[in-house]
Amino acid sequence: MNFGRMASNLFGAWFQIGRHFPRETLDAITKTVAEGEGRHRGELRVVIESRLSLADVAAGVTARDRATALFSHLRVWDTEENCGVLLYVLLAEHRIEIVADRGIAKAVAPAEWAAITAHMRDAFAQGRYREAVQTGVAEAGDLLARHFPGDGEPRKNQLPDHPLVL
């Protein structure tokens, strides 16, 4: 059992989620997602989770495991062109995970996703929570626009644009 992870999920700054992500910030992130989706055929879903349960931590569930489970549970994989992307933030552990559906994963190198998470981590470290997530959304949107460009036609929104806060 990892006591550091237990302590982070018990006592970390996760309880400040409302301060770091007030309604105005979530609305701004929603707008950034919607604007990006106007340029490409992909679907982006943002999930911000305050902490993992102690049972999950004790069981060894990692941020990547949780992101993958949410990718499935939220049906991010179930997009028309297999180009859904989940951007997951676990505040208690300062972790960022990006899970891409098989259509986009074939086209985008893991190093490109890693660069996005690094930019987000830098902004989070400076206390710029809104900018961190908006940067991730914008950069993921740029990748989607490059590999799944829009065709100028209005399209059906397959996933909610508003971040899910857990």
What type of residue is 158? Q
* Cβ atoms within 10 Å, residue 111: 7
Give the integer Cα–Cα distance in Å for 29 and 110. Answer: 24
Per residue in 30-64, pLDDT tens?
999 999 999 999 999 999 999 998 889 889 999 99
Lookup: tokens for 97: 């995970």
72 token code pair? 């499935």
Question: How does pLDDT run across 126-150, given as a tens digit for each residue?
Answer: 999 999 999 999 999 999 999 889 8
For residues 118, 80, 34, 27, the Cα torsion angle rounded to the nearest 10 degrees is -80
Positive or negative CA dihedral for 124, 128, 133, 137? negative
Tokens 């676990």 correspond to 90
Quote the percentage of the chain above a pLDDT of 70.
Answer: 96
Q: What domains are there in the chain, each with its CATH number?
A: 3-165 (3.10.310.50)
